[in-house]
Amino acid sequence: MIDIDDLVQRVAIRAASDNEALPPPVGDDQIAEAEEQLGFALHPLLARLYREVANGGFGPDYRLLPLSGPGSSIAGEYLTRRVASLGVEHPQWPEGIVPILTWGCAMYAGVDCLSEDGQVLLFEPNPYSGGAWEQCWFLDSASLAAWLETWLAGTGWFEEDAFDRDDVVEPQAWDQAASRLTSGA
C-alpha cells in the first residue's frame, strides 16, 4: 500500500527539482470553486497535489494543467469537453474525468474523480473514424497514486526510453468506456 503523505512529499521534492518557478499551490477556496464549476469533488489525492505541491506545472512531459483560471486548465478543459458531449448521439468525454495534462496531438491524461482510486485514463482520439468514442479511451493506471509512482520511478510508457525497455506497461482499452460515455451524456 502506498503511503500517500510520503508520496505527496516525494512529488513535491521532484516538482521543485524539475522546475525553477512552480506556480504557488492553491487554497481551499480555489479547490471549492473548481469543484463547484465541475459539479463534483476532485479526487482527494489530486486536490492534495494542487493544495500542497503547486497549481500545475509539474509531472510527466507537458506537466499538469493549472486547476482553473485563464487559458488551458483542468476546469476549463473538462467543461469544454463535457458541454460538447451533452445531447449528442456519441458523447466524447465521460462525466467525472478531469483532464490533468495534455500529451500533445489532442491526447490527454485524465483522472476519474468518480472512482475510489482515481483511475488515470488516456484519451487518444487520433485513430477515431466516426461513431462511438469508446475505442479512444485507455486505462493508464488503476490509481493516481500508482501513476505518480511510475512517473517518480521513470518507468512510464511516456518516458523517452520506454520503447527500449521490455518492462513497460502500456495503457489498455478501458472496459468502462462505453457505459461511462453513455451514462452522463
For 102, other C-beta atoms within 10 Å of its C-beta total 17
Asked if residue 182 has pLDDT above 60, the reply is yes
pLDDT of the residue at 87: 87
Whole-number percent of the chain with pLDDT over 90: 75
Structural Rg of the chain based on CA atoms: 16
C-alpha dihedral, 101 to 147 to 174 to 96, nearest 10°: -60
Asked if residue 185 has pLDDT above 70, the reply is no
pLDDT of the residue at 170: 81
pTM of the model: 0.93
At 184, which helix (H) or strand (E)?
A: none
Architecture of the domain delimited by 4-160+169-183: 3-Layer(aba) Sandwich (3.40)
How would residue 1 be classed by pLDDT, with cut points 50, 70 and 90?
confident
Whole-number percent of the chain with pLDDT over 70: 95
How would residue 18 be classed by pLDDT, with cut points 50, 70 and 90?
very high
How would residue 35 be classed by pLDDT, with cut points 50, 70 and 90?
very high
Q: Can you tell me the distance from the alpha carbon of 37 to that of 130, in angstroms, rounded to the nearest whole number?
A: 30
How high is the mean pLDDT of the chain? 92
Average pLDDT over residues 150-177: 81
pLDDT of the residue at 162: 58
pLDDT of the residue at 2: 86
